[in-house]
């Protein structure tokens, strides 16, 4: 039961008051008794319940009760009134000789008020959930959920709906959370009482509330329909209006509101917002009304969630450029064979920027009532920079970005450097949505490149896929997808971590040498590419030293991944890949690594089909030894390898198949609000 409200009653007056059903009024009887009062008595109509404290001694309950310093009356009404002032209560005050010194009369009107949301997360707004005013994670948790309305209902002159200043289509309502104000009481409230909805200044940056004026609109002119529609969903609360009166409809009524999220959790926003509905009591002209009852609903803004390689693909995106026919052909075959859609971004849009992986990351947002994919646009902003907004943003396809200072953006801000693991359990802690992985410089480095702070802050603030920072600054391009990937597996944790491994590469080449294939050649059949024999590679002591360094960098990441994802060595597969060090022209003195031959770990994973950069390795009996090794490592997992020739148009430009593609995947079956945090 709610804390009762302190209420003052004057003698020789009629006091009218509205109270909310089941919320009490606490009247201090002594405070405003006539001087000389020694006794009192109380009478009420049946609809008004009261109790006296301290509890009077059990004599005839009709006789006056001694008035004490702490005598108080607790009044409550358990049912809504049919008419204004239909509850009555009177107090009589008596002197020493039980002579009547004064009488106070109260007229009471009871209303039921409940600001209702889907606090039990079943997609339906239930009535007056006891837990609606707080938010708790977990399958036994509670609290309503809000989406950032970051898609665009319109394709023409579009922008995210949260940046539009009105609700402009019925379809926009489903991106918002329904909130229902349920009231029950007389046809109208007594003079001066009113209902007000309000939010705090801080929350107003993150949320807006619209009201549904009525249920239907009928019209057939488009513009008229639009205008009518906007009028039908007036804006109630926003950054500019923190508090606004909402009508009391009378009788038993429900009024619908639509709550719209405006921003994602971030460093300065934990994602929680409160919406309040208060009943105001009038005082008099020029004085602010007093809130005498407040009901509060708490929402959490849904986080942006990434999708790992183990989730079912929906669409595959690649760029068409002037020189990548070979690659497109290979990709089309693979994607068609796998049964997914291939979407091609054409040259007018990509402006010869082929790195589809790097400009954007596909994710999604979800709630019990609705969910949709959301693209995170990188601050990288090269040729593809308009693609996420211009081509992806649309109805039920959201858009979010973080704006960084130009000088803070480096190659590590490309989203080949942003991945997510499959679900893992680490020392008993579950990550059913996996963990985000990013690449940065060593924390000990006095200089070095990093993912920009605004993006890192955003990723950490989403909370549900707690990020892990890896070391990728040792690579010239600096992306974690150059040394790692995840593939599905039928056993163990449901996946394997693939790591590029120079040691595995050298082991394979030494084996070839031992078996008499030292003269087999890499890069055979590639024009403009100098061929290398296995023995030439094995005899290059400089290359060996460089690869030892690369292996130590990857081993450092291996140790972090084992620790932070709870992996054993048996969960990891080493792929035979060599690197070489080159001068980083942008940093003059720094040596950084690039793949020596196509970097097979930089693959695209489509269910059980892997699209792997064709390595052009040494041939033994007509088959590429690297492809044979790769197939043998993968086939135990039931995975099928397709090698795609991306040599000229990708590998020579320091990227591979994964860098040149992107996959939108199905969301997790697991609901993020069921996380135990």
Q: Which residues are catalytic?
A: 358, 479, 481, 659
Tell me how far, at minimum, the Cβ of 9 lies from its own copies, in Å.
10
Candidates 113-121, 166-174, 445-453, 620-628; binding stretch for its own copies (CB under 8 A): 445-453
Tell me how far, at minimum, the Cβ of 198 lies from its own copies, in Å.
5
| Binders in 466-485 for its own copies, by CB under 8 A | 473-474
Tell me how far, at minimum, the Cβ of 442 lies from its own copies, in Å.
6
| Binders in 355-374 for its own copies, by CB under 8 A | none
Q: Between 52 and 320, whose beta carbon lies closer to its own copies?
A: 52
Query: What is the token pair recorded at 446?
Result: 């006095």
Pairing label, strands 13-20, 100-116: parallel
Tell me how far, at minimum, the Cβ of 356 lies from its own copies, in Å.
30
| Binders in 110-139 for its own copies, by CB under 8 A | none
By CB under 8 A, tell whether 244 contacts its own copies: yes
**Contact (CB, 8 A) for 505 and 537:** no
Contact code string over 576-595 relative to its own copies, x by CB under 8 A:
-------------xxx----
Binding its own copies (rule: CB under 8 A), the pick from 273, 433, 454, 504 is: 504
| Binders in 252-311 for its own copies, by CB under 8 A | 267-268, 276, 278, 280-281, 283-284, 286-291, 294
DSSP state of 96: T
| Binders in 51-90 for its own copies, by CB under 8 A | 70, 72
Q: Between 58 and 268, whose beta carbon lies closer to its own copies?
A: 268
**Contact (CB, 8 A) for 612 and 600:** yes
Taken as a whole, the chain contains a residue count of 677
Tell me how far, at minimum, the Cβ of 649 lies from its own copies, in Å.
30
Tell me how far, at minimum, the Cβ of 233 lies from its own copies, in Å.
21
Q: Between 216 and 286, whose beta carbon lies closer to its own copies?
A: 286
Pairing label, strands 25-28, 5-7: parallel
| Binders in 560-579 for its own copies, by CB under 8 A | 562-563, 569-570, 574
By CB under 8 A, tell whether 32 contacts its own copies: yes
Candidates 78-86, 196-204, 228-236, 324-332; binding stretch for its own copies (CB under 8 A): 196-204
Run of H or E including 87: strand 87-94
Contact code string over 165-184 relative to its own copies, x by CB under 8 A:
--------------------
Instruction: Tell me, by CB under 8 A, how many residues bind its own copies.
Output: 77
- Helix ranges (DSSP H) in 462-516: 502-514
Looking at the chain, the number of H-run helices and the number of E-run strands are 11, 42
Closest CA to 508 of 418, 628, 364, 595: 628
**Contact (CB, 8 A) for 577 and 501:** yes
**Complete DSSP assignment for 168-225:** -SHHHHTTSEEEEEEEEESSS-STT-EEEEE--TTGGGTEEEEE---S------HHHH
Q: Find the radius of gyration of the CA atoms of the chain.
A: 34
By CB under 8 A, tell whether 404 contacts its own copies: no
The answer for residues whose C-beta is within 8 angstroms of residue 435's C-beta and 6 or more apart is 420, 421, 424, 465, 466, 467, 468, 564, 565
Tell me how far, at minimum, the Cβ of 213 lies from its own copies, in Å.
21
By CB under 8 A, tell whether 11 contacts its own copies: no
User: CB burial class (10 A; 0-12, 13-18, 19+) of residue 349?
Assistant: middle
């Amino acid at each position: 039961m709610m804390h009762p409200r302190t209420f003052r009653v004057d003698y020789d007056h009629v006091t009218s008051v509205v109270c909310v059903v089941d919320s009490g009024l606490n009247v201090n009887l002594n405070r405003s008794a006539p001087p000389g009062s020694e006794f009192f008595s109380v009478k009420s109509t049946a609809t008004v319940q009261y109790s006296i404290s301290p509890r009077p001694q059990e004599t005839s309950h009709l006789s006056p009760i001694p008035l004490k310093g702490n005598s108080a009356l607790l009044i409550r009404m358990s049912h809504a009134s049919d008419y204004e002032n239909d509850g009555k209560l009177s107090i009589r005050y008596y002197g020493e000789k039980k002579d009547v010194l004064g009488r106070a009369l109260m007229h009471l009107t009871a209303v039921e008020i409940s600001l209702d949301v889907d606090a039990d997360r079943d997609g339906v707004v239930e009535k007056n959930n006891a837990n609606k005013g707080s938010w708790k994670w977990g399958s036994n948790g509670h609290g309503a959920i809000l989406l950032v309305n970051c898609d665009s209902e319109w394709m023409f002159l579009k922008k995210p709906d949260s940046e539009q200043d009105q609700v402009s289509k019925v379809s926009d309502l489903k991106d918002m959370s329904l909130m229902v104000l349920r009231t029950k009481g007389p046809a109208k409230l007594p003079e001066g009482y009113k209902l007000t909805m309000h939010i705090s200044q801080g929350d107003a940056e993150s949320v807006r509330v619209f009201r549904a004026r009525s249920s239907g609109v009928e019209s057939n002119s488009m513009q008229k329909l639009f205008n009518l529609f906007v009028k039908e969903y007036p804006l109630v609360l926003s950054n500019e209006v923190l508090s606004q009166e909402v009508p009391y409809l009378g009788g038993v009524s429900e009024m619908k509101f639509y709550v719209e999220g405006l921003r994602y959790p971030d460093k300065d926003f934990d994602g929680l917002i409160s919406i309040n509905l208060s009943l105001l009591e009038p005082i008099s002209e020029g004085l602010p009304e007093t809130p005498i009852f407040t009901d509060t609903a708490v929402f959490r803004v849904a986080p942006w969630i990434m999708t790992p390689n183990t989730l079912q693909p929906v669409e595959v995106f690649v760029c068409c450029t002037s020189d990548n026919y070979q690659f497109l052909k290979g990709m089309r075959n693979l994607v068609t064979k796998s049964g997914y859609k291939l979407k091609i971004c054409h040259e007018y849009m990509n402006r010869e920027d082929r790195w589809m992986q790097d400009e954007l990351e596909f994710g999604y947002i979800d709630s019990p009532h609705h969910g949709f994919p959301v693209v995170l646009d990188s601050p990288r902003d090269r040729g593809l920079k308009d693609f996420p907004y211009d081509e992806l943003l649309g109805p039920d396809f959201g858009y979010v970005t973080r704006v960084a200072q130009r000088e803070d953006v480096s190659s590590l801000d490309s989203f080949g450097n942003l991945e997510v693991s499959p679900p893992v359990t680490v020392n008993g802690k579950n990550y059913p949505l996996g963990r985000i992985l990013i690449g940065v410089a060593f924390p000990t480095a006095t200089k070095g490149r990093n993912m920009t702070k605004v993006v890192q802050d955003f990723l950490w603030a989403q909370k549900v896929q707690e990020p892990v920072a890896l070391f990728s600054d040792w690579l010239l391009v600096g992306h974690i997808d150059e040394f790692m990937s995840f593939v599905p597996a039928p056993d163990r944790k449901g996946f394997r971590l693939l790591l590029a491994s120079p040691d595995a590469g050298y082991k394979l080449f030494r084996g070839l040498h031992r078996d008499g294939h030292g003269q087999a050649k890499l890069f055979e059949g590639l024009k403009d590419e100098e061929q290398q024999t296995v023995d030439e590679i094995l005899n290059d002591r400089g290359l060996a030293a460089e690869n030892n360094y690369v292996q130590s960098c990857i081993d450092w990441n291996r140790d972090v991944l084992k620790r932070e994802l709870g992996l054993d060595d048996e969960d990891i597969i080493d792929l035979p890949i060599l690197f070489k060090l080159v001068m980083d022209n942008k940093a003059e003195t720094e040596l950084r690594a690039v793949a020596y031959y196509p970097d097979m770990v930089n693959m695209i994973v489509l269910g059980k089909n892997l699209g792997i950069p064709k390595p052009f390795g040494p041939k033994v009996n007509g088959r590429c030894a690297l492809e044979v090794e790769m197939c043998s490592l993968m086939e135990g997992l039931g995975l099928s390898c397709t090698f795609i020739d991306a040599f000229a148009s990708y590998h020579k430009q320091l990227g591979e198949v994964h860098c040149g593609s992107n996959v939108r995947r199905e969301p997790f079956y697991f609901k993020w609000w069921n996380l135990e945090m």
